[in-house]
Amino acid sequence: MKFQRRQLLQAFASLPVIHFLSGCSPKEDSSQPTVQTKNTKEILPTSGMKTGFLSIIQGPTTDQQTLINIFSPRLKTYTYEVTDELGQKQTVEKYETVKGPFFYNIDKIKVSGLNPQTNYKLQILDISLTSGSRSVVDERSFKSLDLSKANPEFALVSCMADDYRFNDVIDPMWNRLKAENVDFIAITGDVVYVDDKNLVERQKATEMDIWQRYVDTFKRIPLYHWYNLKPIFATWDDHDFGTNDGDKNFIGKEAATKIFKGAFFGPELTSGNTSWTMGPGGTSSLLTAFGQKFFFMDDRSFRQPNKESAVTSQPYGHWGESQHRWLIDNLKQDPTPAWIINGNQFFNGAKKTFIESLEQNHPIEFKTFVDELKTISAPVVFASGDVHLSEIMKISKDVIGFDSYEFTSSSMHSYLGDGWVNPLRVNGAYALDFNFMVFKSNVNNGGFNINTKCLGLPKESFFDMNFEISR
């Protein structure tokens, strides 16, 4: 069955893409039958309340604060209210509206004074300028990060194409993820395929083209219409940046950065033992939570062209010098176990020239990077997407000074790879089908205890493995 589905998708991969730009509203989240959510009962919307109308993203979140970004029609001025389980209003700051070039803006709000054990309700209100009457446009529920959890869980997701070829896959995949009830979602790129040939000729994307693709995709993807929002921490890769295998020379980089950060970013957050801070330029950021650090790297904004050889490669051709130094300096200063999360892979274990990776495309920076890892005290693991298959590579101490792993999760719903042999791949840690990974990651004696499982369409599970990483 899997083979037949994969063959069918590959057979139609060259067909023109058709988009339904309007008249295709998302299903109401409350009306969709879903698998039973584990661990906790799903919070249901108010009886009769329409939900899922707008595309809403719960972005960076700590134990006491969260950022929520709402795609709002340009001609509407909404009011946002948040209440706790007792109906008490919370502090809501609408601090920015990112103006789009056509029908949508992004309203950005910050909610403070949160309790991790409390469920909160967000209401989007349209208040009449003449009568003052209030109508609820949309309603969602959300929580902050519960740092008391002994085994926090997060999902690793990438490659989310929205075109018709994946219509029978998109909803079941997101329902499967929703049922896992993770604490947060880490996105490693390709949340949008900006370089869809129907709208964008490669390297010639306008600001309107880029916004159009983001708006259309976010309308279609269920994640942004769930009643129960989940914190999302994201970085991008080539397709949401704007063009396949793109680099810093992409002419639409400024517009792409504006809307990506508008959708997923906001002001830095610090509270208690958790924080979210931004890295240098682009889309890099750092989450500190659950006794771990999560570095989200930007592999596009400063990237030199892939065509450079090992001889002509720039010293910091992948991440740029400022971002590279930001990462290494943080790791040197703090022994906290860390995840390093990137769009494309770090290690080219398969030794394929067509697979983008730090090792393959920018070998000088790669050598500097692995040599520097030998000098730090923090244990690190690696996470990536991009390649349209999932695998786990073992990275030996001969390379970085200690044994570690790279976890690659791809794709959620996009083109499937052809598959290849990878000598670094952990035996059995492989999926060539639609999938995502879920991690239980906790710290023990200064190192990691990690359980990871790779899940696909309902009832499909590809592997479930445990790892220990220490210096």
Share of the chain above pLDDT 90, in %: 77
- The pLDDT, as a whole number, for residue 86 is 95
- Assign 9 a pLDDT band (cuts: 50, 70, 90): very low
Cis peptide before 409 (omega within 30 of 0): no
Cβ-contact 118, 84 below 8 angstroms: yes
Selection from 86, 87, 71 nearest residue 124 by Cα: 71
**What three-state secondary structure class fits 400?**
helix
154-182+194-469: CATH number: 3.60.21.70
Q: Phi first, then psi: what are they for 356, rounded to 5°?
A: -70, 140
Maximum Cα–Cα distance for the chain, whole Å?
Answer: 71
Q: From its phi and psi, is residue 132 left (phi > 0), alpha (psi between -120 and 50) or beta?
A: left
> Residue 235 pLDDT > 90, yes or no?
yes
Ranking 203-212, 255-264, 411-420 by mean pLDDT, the lowest is 203-212
- The pLDDT, as a whole number, for residue 400 is 97
Selection from 169, 217, 308 nearest residue 20 by Cα: 217
What is the mean pLDDT of the segment spanning 400-404? 97
The average confidence (pLDDT) of the chain is: 89
Question: Which residue shows structure tokens 């129960």?
Answer: 228
Name the more confident of 38 and 16: 38
The two three-digit tokens of residue 390, written as one number? 């999932």
- The pLDDT, as a whole number, for residue 54 is 96
Cα angle for residues 388, 394, 397 (degrees, 5° grid): 145
Cβ-contact 340, 383 below 8 angstroms: yes
Share of the chain above pLDDT 70, in %: 88
- The pLDDT, as a whole number, for residue 200 is 53
Cβ-contact 107, 262 below 8 angstroms: no
Ranking 256-265, 303-312, 322-331 by mean pLDDT, the lowest is 303-312
- The pLDDT, as a whole number, for residue 22 is 31
What is the mean pLDDT of the segment spanning 30-45? 50
- The pLDDT, as a whole number, for residue 203 is 63
Compute the distance between CA of residue 330 and CA of residue 323 in angstroms, rounded to an integer: 11
> Residue 39 pLDDT > 70, yes or no?
no
- Residue type at 138? D
> Residue 106 pLDDT > 60, yes or no?
yes
Ranking 69-73, 272-276, 380-384, 434-438 by mean pLDDT, the lowest is 272-276
- The pLDDT, as a whole number, for residue 10 is 46
